[in-house]
Structure 1
Amino acid sequence: MRPILLPLAALVLLPACDNAAQPSQAEAELSPVAANQEALTDERRVLDLEGGVNFRGLGGYRTADGRITKWETVYRSGSPAGLTKADNDELARRGIRTFCDFRSTEERASEPNPYVAENSDVEYWTRDYALNAGDLMHVLGGPDASAEKSREAMTGLYRTIAQDNAESYAQMFRYLAEARTPLAFNCSAGKDRAGTGAALLLTLLGVPRETVVADYALSDDLVDYRAQMQETADSNPSYSALAQLPWETVEPLVASDPAYIESAFSALEDEYGSVDAFIEQELGVTKDMKRAIVENLTEEA
């Protein structure tokens, strides 16, 4: 079982509740941001899986126009390699029919996805590319390596993460516009490539920025990345080199620091004027596609 740290707010991992559950009158009277603070720790958010890494849904979030994101429709996660037979059965029960894997060719070869291997009718999208961690490893292994340098490197990495993975995000949005849901998307840790994908999607849906950032940062509460890195270093190429370095210099790399996703947003706003403009211009999401995605993924609160 992959290690998980519960947040101080005692987020409880329980089986998913009825998708039709409606917010209470008190919740309905809250502002979207306030309501979403409660939604972050909704017991339905994190899937109770034996071998899942950061596997959670994007349901229950209020949007600026008064709608709410649907439960059991879109999921984000880390590496699916540890999914057990019971986990696969649970994902099948939820009807997950599309899996977008944002990992590199080497990552997928080292840690295959057992859910798609067991379910031949699931649409499994991947793209072949190689990770280039040369600059980052130079920072980590350099003579002036430090937590501060690592944090600076991550902030810089996030300034291009959306563009670097644009092909992956564009395909995910096409599937969502076509209502190929329930859909899951993943990377290796479930916080950088997948976290950015989730942030772009929630932004398109009109979820307030504060909630988008909080959903991104939630990974820090849910996963013990140090333990995961040590346990999977032999099979996970992303972790094998990191496991040999001092933890204080590595820790910023496995963090979900709000400053990272804010750096990504800032870079997109600097270059395109807004995150929505990037989604439209670079990911090819037309106005009709956006309307379809909002219709497919949200409902009246």
Structure 2
Amino acid sequence: MLGTAPNFRDLAGSTAGGGARVRRGLLYRADSLARLDDDDFTILSGLGLRQVVDLRTVFERERGVDRVPDGAEYVVLDVQRNHSTGADLAAILSDPDRARAVLADDGAERFMLEVNRMLVGTRDACAAYRKLVERAAYGPLPLVFHCSAGKDRTGWGAALLLGLLGVPKDDVLEDYLASNARLGGLMDWIMELVGGQGLDPATVRPMIEVRPEYLEAAYAEIDSVYGGFDGYVAEGLRLDPATVDALRERLLH
């Protein structure tokens, strides 16, 4: 839909429990909105967005300022609490010495598994994702939430919201994996970047893809720490059941 934000998409269409479906035009997920050209910004503005939720770190936000449509509230929910590490892949791969340290001994996949465990296991992440759910349940809509590539931090946010709406795991995974088909330009840019630094592009590929095992790492962490998704929602996110009910009332039909 947006050539300069290729991972922008509606979360609608999935079937939840009882045959209800996720409403269209209310909840969007995206990659960075800092790179939007004028044509895409016009399209975005035409959606009538009321909230733009930025999951990125302060370092990413300073490097790329979002283009926010008139009438939309801009909200920062930094899931990493201003850390320069974590899912900010561009920063890691732009530093050859740091990249070599991360990528050594097949480290890229281990790194991504740890990122996904962090997204459900840290206090900062839980606080940010709780607020995302509350804003989707009670705040003005439509809402878009995003990070830089729209695949990891945004990917878990989408998995969380769809899970709360009762969408089956197989459909959540399908939405999660859809990022791979939308990020060809990013992948090409990163491959060119690392190749020019003398790094083996094959060692980087696990960091610029989404894979089923990454999402499963998040679910496994939830099972280990909270005993399952319901425990994560109640104890980790500390979401009131009324908020989940409100979310479903708004977003299902």
TM range (shorter): 0.7 to 0.9
Q: 1:242 to 1:123 in 2, by over 3 A?
A: farther
1:178-216 Cα offsets, whole Å, 9 max, x none, are: 142110000011000000110111110000001111111
Q: 1:71 to 1:152 in 2, by over 3 A?
A: same
Pair 1:197-2:157 in alignment: yes
Q: Report the equivalent of 1:80.
A: 33
Identify the match of residue 72 of structure 2 among 122, 143, 158: 122
**What aligned pairs does 1:31-50 form with structure 2 within 5 A after superposition?**
48-50=1-3
Q: Give the secondary structure class of the aligned counterpart of 2:21.
A: strand
Contact 1:53/1:80, CA 8 A, preserved across alignment? no
Q: Report the equivalent of 2:24.
A: 71
Q: 1:143 to 1:66 in 2, by over 3 A?
A: closer
Identify the match of residue 145 of structure 2 among 182, 185, 193: 185
Identity, % of aligned positions:
30
Pair 1:229-2:182 in alignment: no
Contact 1:177/1:292, CA 8 A, preserved across alignment? yes
Contact 2:11/2:24, CA 8 A, preserved across alignment? yes
TM-score by length of 1: 0.73
Q: How far, CA to CA, are the matches of 1:80 and 1:188 in structure 2?
A: 8
Q: CA RMSD in A?
A: 2.5
- Deviation, 1:143, is 10
Q: Report the equivalent of 2:112.
A: 154
- Residue identity matched to 1:276: D
1:235-293 Cα offsets, whole Å, 9 max, x none, are: xxxxxx89733211111011100100111011101111112321222223211100000
- Deviation, 1:144, is 7.9
- Deviation, 1:229, is 3.1
Structure 2 residues not aligned, in runs of 5+: none
Pair 1:271-2:229 in alignment: no
Which has the larger Rg?
Answer: 1
- Deviation, 1:99, is 0.8
Contact 1:79/1:187, CA 8 A, preserved across alignment? yes
TM-score by length of 2: 0.86
Q: Give the secondary structure class of the aligned counterpart of 1:62.
A: coil
- Residue identity matched to 2:190: M
Q: 1:143 to 1:280 in 2, by over 3 A?
A: closer
Compare the two structures and name the one with the higher helix fraction. 2
Contact 1:58/1:74, CA 8 A, preserved across alignment? yes
**What aligned pairs does 1:1-301 form with structure 2 within 5 A after superposition?**
48-114=1-67, 116=68, 118-119=69-70, 121-126=71-76, 127=78, 129-133=82-86, 140-142=99-101, 145-146=104-105, 148-164=106-122, 165-224=125-184, 225-229=186-190, 244=197, 245-299=199-253
Q: 1:184 to 1:227 in 2, by over 3 A?
A: same
Q: Give the secondary structure class of the aligned counterpart of 1:184.
A: strand
Structure 1 residues not aligned, in runs of 5+: 1-47, 234-240
Contact 1:200/1:275, CA 8 A, preserved across alignment? no
- Deviation, 1:49, is 1.5
- Residue identity matched to 1:154: M
- Residue identity matched to 2:242: D
- Residue identity matched to 2:252: T
- Residue identity matched to 2:187: R
Contact 2:49/2:142, CA 8 A, preserved across alignment? yes
- Deviation, 1:139, is 8.4
Q: How far, CA to CA, are the matches of 2:51 and 2:103 in structure 1?
A: 44
Q: Give the secondary structure class of the aligned counterpart of 1:295.
A: helix
Q: 1:65 to 1:228 in 2, by over 3 A?
A: farther
Aligned residues: 239
Contact 2:126/2:237, CA 8 A, preserved across alignment? yes
